[in-house]
């Protein structure tokens, strides 16, 4: 009994209700917002910039079901945003958590060794009060704790509703399934320990270089999850291979650790992916032979294998069910961040059975970039 209580107390010091938003620092927020709307089916939600009295930066907020992205650029030469952009290119700066109590989340994590990014601060307008605070995670990436239970406005104080005639149609993206970080050589355990000790997460899966290697490249990965399982953070580090690992390529171009991919969930991957393709998104392709022995490998699935083959969608099964997934090519200029589209049919895993086929596809891309 006592042990159960200690376990629950340990897990409950940071209750996270979900991912509130993900903020990208980008070179041109207006055009990034246009891309996310038109290529990925997001809708305009909120805006902050010169017209709302902010002379230093501009942010466009786009939304699709439970996924909210903020695209932010700097108006001024010398700024945290521009320093970030110059060093990393377009990339994820903030993974914001929705919490009940921002100040407590901050205190609990700082007490356990987190490095402060923003001390708790109340921001307000006529629609109420939001409390936000934040800590650093790997690289220059940060987690914000957003408390909005006393706020009724659109997004955050300082933002106005963003209406736009450009009405892109949603493509069925529902929520952020997992957020993957790439960290430096031999740093995976350090950052897994950070999520365990500072945020109270637990490790749910581990992959070593036997699981995730090809002739050329290798990586190690562990998946950390918060207590209620709503937030999952796989952490990758490079491992020794014959040639440069895809993780090293990322670290070189991003100039350090950062978010490697966001997995976005859909209930209908075939429709979502074919719509993305129609809108110009490029995906990694596996050889046609991947589908030859598919049913032998994964057993019966509901989907039409022919449609999966046409769209290059991968399938993997675990003890709980199966999942369908596909990966885009990098979505920014540098070969850094990409997206995964995932549909879960019971499976809670991450597609281990697809790693080999996938990495061979990534190596083909690396070769075309001259970075393998
Ligand atoms: Fe993933």
Within a domain: 38: yes
Cα 150 to ligand 1 centroid, rounded to whole Å: 34
* Same domain flag for 115 and 181: no
Cα 75 to ligand 1 centroid, rounded to whole Å: 34
* Same domain flag for 156 and 177: no
Cα 262 to ligand 1 centroid, rounded to whole Å: 7
Within a domain: 236: yes
The CATH number that applies at residue 35 is 3.10.180.10
Cα 352 to ligand 1 centroid, rounded to whole Å: 10
* Same domain flag for 233 and 336: yes
Final residue of a structural domain among 161, 192, 223: 161
pLDDT at 233 over 70: yes
pLDDT at 135 over 70: yes
Cα 263 to ligand 1 centroid, rounded to whole Å: 5
Cα 60 to ligand 1 centroid, rounded to whole Å: 26
Q: What is the CA radius of gyration of the chain?
A: 21
Cα 180 to ligand 1 centroid, rounded to whole Å: 7
* Same domain flag for 177 and 318: yes
Cα 237 to ligand 1 centroid, rounded to whole Å: 14
**What is the predicted pLDDT for the residue at 213?**
63
Number of folded domains in the chain? 2
Cα 264 to ligand 1 centroid, rounded to whole Å: 9
Final residue of a structural domain among 161, 192, 214: 161
* Same domain flag for 193 and 143: no
Cα 79 to ligand 1 centroid, rounded to whole Å: 32
- Average pLDDT across the chain, whole number: 91
Cα 340 to ligand 1 centroid, rounded to whole Å: 6
Q: What is the pTM of this model?
A: 0.93
Within a domain: 244: yes
- Domain containing 52 equals 2-161
Q: How confident is the model at residue 2 (pLDDT cuts 50, 70, 90)?
A: very low
* Same domain flag for 147 and 229: no
Cα 207 to ligand 1 centroid, rounded to whole Å: 13
**What is the predicted pLDDT for the residue at 11?**
52
Cα 132 to ligand 1 centroid, rounded to whole Å: 28
pLDDT at 204 over 60: yes
* Same domain flag for 286 and 350: yes
pLDDT at 167 over 90: no
* Same domain flag for 273 and 140: no
Cα 353 to ligand 1 centroid, rounded to whole Å: 12
Cα 261 to ligand 1 centroid, rounded to whole Å: 7
pLDDT digits 0-9 by tens, 339-349: 999 999 999 88
Final residue of a structural domain among 138, 161, 184: 161
* Same domain flag for 184 and 61: no
Within a domain: 297: yes
HEC readout, the chain: CHHHHHHHHHHHCCCEEEEEEEEEECCCHHHHHHHHHHHHCCEEEEEECHHHCCCCEEEEEEEECCEEEEEEEECCCCCHHHHHHHHHCCEEEEEEEEECCHHHHHHHHHHCCCCEEEEEEEEEECCEEEEEEEEECCCCCEEEEEEEEEECCCCCCCCEECCCCCCCCCCCEEEEEEEEEECCCCCHHHHHHHHHHCCCCEEEEEECCCCCECCCCEEEEEEEECCCCCCEEEEEEEECCCCCCHHHHHHHHHCCCEEEEEEEEECCHHHHHHHHHHCCCCECCCCHHHHCCHHHHHCCCCCCHHHHHHHCCEEEEECCEEEEEEEECCCCCCCCCEEEEEEEEECCCCCHHHHHHHHHHHHHHHHHHCCC
The Cα–Cα gap between 17 and 14 comes to: 10
Please list all protein residues whose beta carbon sits less than 5 angstroms from ligand 1, which is an ion. Answer: 263, 340
Cα 303 to ligand 1 centroid, rounded to whole Å: 21
**What is the predicted pLDDT for the residue at 330?**
96
* Same domain flag for 155 and 103: yes
Within a domain: 167: no
Cα 326 to ligand 1 centroid, rounded to whole Å: 9
Within a domain: 259: yes
Cα 338 to ligand 1 centroid, rounded to whole Å: 10
* Same domain flag for 92 and 241: no
* Same domain flag for 177 and 155: no
């Amino acid at each position: 009994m006592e042990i159960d209580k200690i376990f629950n107390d340990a897990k409950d010091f940071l209750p996270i209700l979900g991912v509130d938003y993900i903020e990208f620092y980008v070179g041109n927020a207006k055009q990034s917002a246009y891309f996310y709307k038109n290529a990925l089916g997001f809708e305009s939600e909120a805006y902050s910039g010169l017209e709302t009295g902010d002379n230093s930066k501009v942010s466009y907020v786009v939304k699709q079901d439970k996924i909210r992205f903020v695209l932010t650029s700097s108006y001024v030469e010398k700024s945290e945003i521009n320093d970030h952009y110059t060093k990393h290119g377009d990339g994820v700066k903030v993974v914001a958590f929705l919490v009940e109590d921002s100040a407590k989340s901050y205190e609990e994590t700082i007490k356990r060794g987190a490095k402060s990014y923003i001390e708790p601060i109340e921001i307000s307008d006529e629609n109420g009060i939001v409390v936000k605070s934040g800590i650093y995670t790997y690289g220059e990436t940060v987690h914000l704790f957003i408390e909005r239970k006393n706020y009724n406005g659109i997004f955050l104080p300082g933002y106005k509703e963003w209406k736009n005639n450009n009405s892109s149609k949603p493509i069925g993206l529902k929520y952020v399934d997992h957020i993957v970080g790439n960290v430096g050589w031999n740093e995976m355990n350090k950052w897994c320990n950070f999520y365990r000790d500072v945020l109270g997460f637990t490790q749910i899966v581990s992959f070593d270089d036997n699981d995730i290697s090809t002739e050329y490249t290798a990586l190690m990965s562990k998946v950390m999850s918060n207590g209620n399982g709503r937030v999952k953070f796989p952490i990758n580090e490079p491992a020794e291979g014959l040639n440069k690992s895809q993780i090293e390529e990322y670290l070189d171009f991003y100039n350090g650790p950062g978010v490697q991919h966001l997995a976005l969930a859909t209930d209908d991957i075939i429709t979502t992916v074919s719509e993305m393709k129609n809108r110009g998104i490029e995906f990694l392709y596996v050889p046609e032979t991947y589908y030859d022995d598919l049913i032998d490998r994964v057993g019966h699935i509901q989907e039409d294998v022919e449609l999966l083959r046409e769209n290059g969608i991968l399938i993997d099964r675990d003890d709980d069910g199966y999942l369908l997934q596909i990966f885009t090519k990098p979505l920014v200029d540098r070969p850094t961040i990409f997206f995964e589209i995932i549909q879960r049919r019971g499976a809670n895993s991450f597609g281990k059975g697809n790693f080999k086929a996938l990495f061979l596809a990534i190596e083909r891309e690396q070769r075309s970039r001259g970075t393998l």
